[in-house]
């Protein structure tokens, strides 16, 4: 482990000052869809429809990883870690670039580090903590050791270690550490904005269904170890993103914004409470129902005495929107009755409502999602998705487990997470602008 010199401490003070100056009003970074040409996952030989079909299959796999415990609550390790969006960060001094999966369902930042006792292959160089003059391991007795709830002491009883397992049985084990994390912003300055003393995991035992293209995870959950929670010391605990529609990902980049710039005001803003539930790394909303051409279909038990709150997770890493099976059946029937197009055989099992149509589905019904206090009016592309050339499918699906509000339904909206008021805000937008 490198020991910072006096000059290093002075350097950190200068970094803090630089960060404070850069953060007036907040900061914005690129949020890179995994199928964008800017992504290391991008395969130019694939057609847009092949990418669309793979996105649906990843969504199905992710929701199948959402398993519940005996009390009906989701376990703390529910998500596959495929990820749909990536963000560039740097770690250390000198800074090492990390292309990490940005995940609102994860509450830890981590990357692979030597000595790798068991690490999955990655294309980019590993972050080497011994080469960073600002790197520190976290002691077991430190408060920082307990920001993440799955920590323990190493065999020597000194270093804080973490262990995280995902729903596809992938896992990461390593040291809880601190270092400077930098964010490359959309501003004119080419230098990343530095955040000293950020807690992250240096993983030395990592395996499972990880890709060689991604070199870590950036947790954006409400958990205290997530990036947004730790940035609360520099910025208000507020972040927002604006996702460009899937068919635009080859040309435009989505945006992720932190701080006061993530506040949504003006016409069209609607607000719904986020519900505090366990496990804390997920963002829970209360879905009351969905309207098709003005006819509302309510979620059972979402209103009246004894109503169930926090019955849906909002997740940027899931493509489809997954509804309670009994509600989905009603919605599918209403949508089917409203569309006068020939039905098509779905190219994907368990994905049933498809039509012979390319591009915009003419005659698609108006769809409004009703959260507590917030009616979100969807565009046609929020609800329909061309998964194969000439075959457009409904982007909602049934589940008997935890419902999820997926990223297709969020595209061309600013979605703002206020972790102080614990509220979620939506505002229609042109995210390619």
Of 228, 257, 286, the residue that ends a domain is 257
Residues 251 and 276 in one domain: no
Active site residue 103: yes
Q: Is residue 73 assigned to a domain?
A: yes
Alpha-carbon distances, residue 177 vs 12, 126, 174, 185, 187 (angstroms): 16, 15, 9, 24, 29
Q: Is residue 433 assigned to a domain?
A: no
Q: Is residue 277 assigned to a domain?
A: yes
Alpha carbon 83 to chain centroid, angstroms = 7
Residues 216 and 299 in one domain: no
Phi, psi at residue 205, to the nearest 5°? -140, 95
* Total domains in the fold of the chain: 2
The answer to whether 131 and 92 are in contact (CB under 8 A) is yes
Sheet containing strand 295-298, edge to edge, reads 295-298, 287-292, 367-371, 374-377
**Which range marks the domain in which residue 299 is found?**
263-428
Q: Is residue 172 assigned to a domain?
A: yes
Residues 285 and 350 in one domain: yes
Decide: helix, strand or coil at residue 225. Answer: coil
Residues 204 and 251 in one domain: yes
Calculated CA dihedral for residues 11, 16, 22, 25, nearest 10 degrees: 180
Residue 326 and residue 312: Cα distance in Å, rounded? 15
pLDDT tens digits, one per residue of 330-342: 999 999 999 988 8
Q: Is residue 319 assigned to a domain?
A: yes
Residues 233 and 272 in one domain: no
pLDDT tens digits, one per residue of 209-259: 788 888 888 999 888 899 998 988 788 889 999 999 877 666 678 999 999
Of 239, 257, 275, the residue that ends a domain is 257
Phi, psi at residue 379, to the nearest 5°? -85, 165
Residue 268: per-residue pLDDT = 95
Residue 346: per-residue pLDDT = 83
**Do the strands 238-242 and 413-418 form a parallel or antiparallel pair, or are they unpaired?**
antiparallel
Residues 124 and 244 in one domain: yes
Residue 165: per-residue pLDDT = 84
Alpha-carbon distances, residue 298 vs 305, 328, 332, 335, 370 (angstroms): 15, 11, 14, 15, 9
Domain containing residue 238: CATH number = 2.40.70.10
Residue 342 and residue 162: Cα distance in Å, rounded? 53
Catalytic residue among 77, 107, 179, 315: 315
Decide: helix, strand or coil at residue 55. Answer: helix
Residues 277 and 253 in one domain: no
3-state percent helix, strand, coil for the chain, nearest multiple of 5: 20, 35, 50
Calculated CA dihedral for residues 16, 22, 26, 30, nearest 10 degrees: -110
Residues 31 and 136 in one domain: yes
Q: Is residue 398 assigned to a domain?
A: yes
And the tokens for 349? 């099992």
Catalytic residue among 35, 77, 82, 103: 103
Residues 244 and 267 in one domain: no
The answer to whether 245 and 411 are in contact (CB under 8 A) is yes
Residues 191 and 271 in one domain: no
Residues 312 and 253 in one domain: no
Residue 41 and residue 213: Cα distance in Å, rounded? 6
The answer to whether 113 and 124 are in contact (CB under 8 A) is no
Residues 77 and 202 in one domain: yes
Residues of the chain with pLDDT under 70: 1-25, 64-82, 167, 188-190, 248-251, 302-307, 350
């Amino acid at each position: 482990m490198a020991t910072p010199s006096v000059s290093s401490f002075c350097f950190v003070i200068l970094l803090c000052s630089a960060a404070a100056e850069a953060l007036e009003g907040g900061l914005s970074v690129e949020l890179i869809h995994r199928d964008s040409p800017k992504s290391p996952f991008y395969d130019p030989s694939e057609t847009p429809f092949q990418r669309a079909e793979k996105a649906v299959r990843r969504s199905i796999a992710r929701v199948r990883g959402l398993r519940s415990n005996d009390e009906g609550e989701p376990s703390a390790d529910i998500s596959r870690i495929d990820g749909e969006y990536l963000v560039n960060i740097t770690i250390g001094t000198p800074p090492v670039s990390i292309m990490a999966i940005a995940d609102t369902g994860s509450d830890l930042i981590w990357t692979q580090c030597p000595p790798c006792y068991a690490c999955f292959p990655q294309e980019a160089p590993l972050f080497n903590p011994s080469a960073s003059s600002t790197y520190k391991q976290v002691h077991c007795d430190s408060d920082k050791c307990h920001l993440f709830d799955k920590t323990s002491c190493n065999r020597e009883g000194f270093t804080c270690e973490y262990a995280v397992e995902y729903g596809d049985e992938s896992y990461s084990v390593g040291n809880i550490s601190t270092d400077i994390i930098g964010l490359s912003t959309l501003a004119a300055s080419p230098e990343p904005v530095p955040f000293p003393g950020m807690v992250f995991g240096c993983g030395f035992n990592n395996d499972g269904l990880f890709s060689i293209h991604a070199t870590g995870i950036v947790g954006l959950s409400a958990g205290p170890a997530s990036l947004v929670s730790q940035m609360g010391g520099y910025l208000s605990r507020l972040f927002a993103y604006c996702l460009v529609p899937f068919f635009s990902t080859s040309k435009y980049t989505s945006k992720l914004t932190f701080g006061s710039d993530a506040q949504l005001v003006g016409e069209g803003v609607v607000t719904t409470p986020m519900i505090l539930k366990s496990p804390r790394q997920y963002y829970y909303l209360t879905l009351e129902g969905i309207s098709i051409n003005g006819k509302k279909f309510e979620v059972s038990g979402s209103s009246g005495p004894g109503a169930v709150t926090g019955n849906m997770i909002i997740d940027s890493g899931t493509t489809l929107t997954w509804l309670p099976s009994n509600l989905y059946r009603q919605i599918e029937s209403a949508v089917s009755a409203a569309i006068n197009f020939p039905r098509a055989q779905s190219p994907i099992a368990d994905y049933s409502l498809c039509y012979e149509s390319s591009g915009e589905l003419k005659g698609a019904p108006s769809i409004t999602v009703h959260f507590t206090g917030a009616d979100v009016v969807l565009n046609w592309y929020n609800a329909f998705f061309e998964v194969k050339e000439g075959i457009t499918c409904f982007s909602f699906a049934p589940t008997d487990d935890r419902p999820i509000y997926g990223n297709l339904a969020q595209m061309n909206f600013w979605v703002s997470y206020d972790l102080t008021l614990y509220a979620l805000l939506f505002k229609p937008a042109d995210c390619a602008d």
